[in-house]
Structures are given as C-alpha cells and as structure tokens.
Copies of this chain bind each other. A is one copy, B any other.
Amino acid sequence: MKITTKGRYGLRLMLDLAGCYGGQPVALKEIARRQDISEKYLEQIIQQLNRAGLISSVRGAHGGYSLSRSPQDISVGDILRSVEVPLAPVECADDIACERSGSCAALPIWKEIKEAVEQVVDHRTLADLLPASDTE
C-alpha cells in the first residue's frame, strides 16, 4: 500500500506551486532546489501534470510553471491520478475483472479500501494543505 515517489514528489511540487499562486511562473530548477529533488526526474513528473491540465507552462527564458487553476480547485486526487498513482489496492477493485472475480470473497474489501482512499483524496485540495502564509 505504499505510494511511489511520483505521487509524493508530484504533490510536493504542486504544493510548492500553490505557494506561488498568483505570481510569476516558477522555473522547475527552483522547485527542484527548494524541494531537493532531481530536476530531471521532476521534469518527467511535471510533464504528466502539465498534460493532465493541472498546470500551465511558459517556454523559453524566464519561463516556468504555474497552477492552471486556484489551489482550492485542485484536489489531491486530481494530482495522484495525473501521475498514475493507482488509488485501488488491486486492479479488480476498478472493475478490471480477473478470472476469479465472480466468486472472489476478498473483492468487497478491496473496493471498500479504494472508496475510502478516494473519499479522502477527492475532498482535500491544495488549499487545505497549504501552510498558512504568515504575511503580516
């Protein structure tokens, strides 16, 4: 039931961008430095978030990334799905039936787990997680 670094880094990356929301696009290099994650690896992850439409990018010098909508409109579930973190503990819970799913006594619990996880990640947004910026 562990989550991969893609999911963890993806969320941290998005939280970083959420902290900069409203300002200029942020270069990946900056995020990588702040979060202490390999820039090249983050590049792959941020592209998935980009293709999923969660962020928008500006190419060229002084380019960078920014959230494509407000932090309160981006759920953790949106992010995890974008970087292909499966939310179900087994594929069958996503109705990708296996040979024995007809008689599988274990299936209901996997579905319950999946629903419980979805309940959490779909109801928490970046805004919920953002540390209160102590601007005075």
Binding site for B on A (CB under 8 A): 1-3, 7-8, 11-12, 15, 76, 85-90, 103, 105-106, 108-110, 112-113, 116-117, 119-121, 124, 129-131
Contact = CB atoms under 8 A, between A and B. Distances in A.
B15 A89 contact: no
Given A12-B106, A106-B12, A86 B1 contact: yes
Give the oligomeric copy count. 2
A120 B109 contact: yes
B3 A106 contact: no
Given A12-B106, A15-B106, A109-B76, A2 B89 contact: yes
Nearest to A91: B2
Contacts of A129: 105-106, 108-109
